[in-house]
Amino acid sequence: MSDKNRFSDSSAKSYSQALYELAFEEKNLSDVEKNVISLLKLIYQSGDFNSLIKDPTNKQEDQLNVINIIFEKFNLNNLLKKFLNFLVMKRRFFYVEKILKDFVMICSKNRGEISAKLTVAKKLDENEINKIKNDLSQNFGSDVKLNYNYNPDLIGGLIMQVESVMIDTSIKNKLQQIEKKMIEA
């Protein structure tokens, strides 16, 4: 296993936990979480920002300047800015996406939320998504944070994952199972 994987698997949670504890102590947890979610969206949507993070040839000075510009322009939480600057200085900025995702998961778990992922073959409206979310919350006795995804490649059916339990009723999966049986025969 490479050093990069060892860091990302073991240390990212430590950094995420440290950010959580700092934000909790400063009573800024809600603001920091909102800012983290915004930064994750920026990472996903901006190829330039993603490149700044992932390209090892970028200078620390450039990364720090971009962080400062983003935080000044959007008036984001100073604790998060210091944390990101710390990651840059420690040469851990490459892992910021994983660290921020883990931070959001820690916040969610500490609120007692359960993570669920729903992938469906047809587009659902907001009412249908909320109904599914409410049904899951009642069945599991806890708030459910539902990540909804539309995927027409499933042909029909759905894939539901709640924590470690996965249910796949998609037609695509059934066709793959039939194909596998035909190959084995």
Q: Which pLDDT tens digit goes with each residue over 143-184?
A: 888 889 999 888 888 899 987 788 888 888 888 999 999 998
Question: Residue 179 — left, alpha, or beta (φ > 0 → left; ψ -120 to 50 → alpha)?
Answer: alpha
For residues 34 and 84, state if they share a domain. Answer: yes
State which of 109, 144, 173 marks the end of a domain: 109
For residues 29 and 90, state if they share a domain. Answer: yes
For residues 69 and 122, state if they share a domain. Answer: no
Please choose, from the candidates 88, 158, 56, the residue with its C-alpha nearest in 3D space to the C-alpha of residue 117.
Answer: 158
**CA dist., res. 37 & res. 124, Å (int):** 23
For residues 42 and 91, state if they share a domain. Answer: yes
Domain around 142: 114-184
Q: How would you write the pLDDT of the chain (185 residues) with one tens digit per residue?
A: 444 455 556 788 999 999 999 999 999 999 999 999 999 999 999 988 988 898 888 899 999 999 999 999 888 899 999 999 999 999 999 999 999 999 998 998 899 888 889 999 889 999 999 998 898 888 888 888 888 999 988 888 889 998 778 888 888 888 899 999 999 87
State which of 78, 109, 140 marks the end of a domain: 109
For residues 102 and 165, state if they share a domain. Answer: no
- The number of folded domains in the chain is 2
CATH code for position 103: 1.10.520
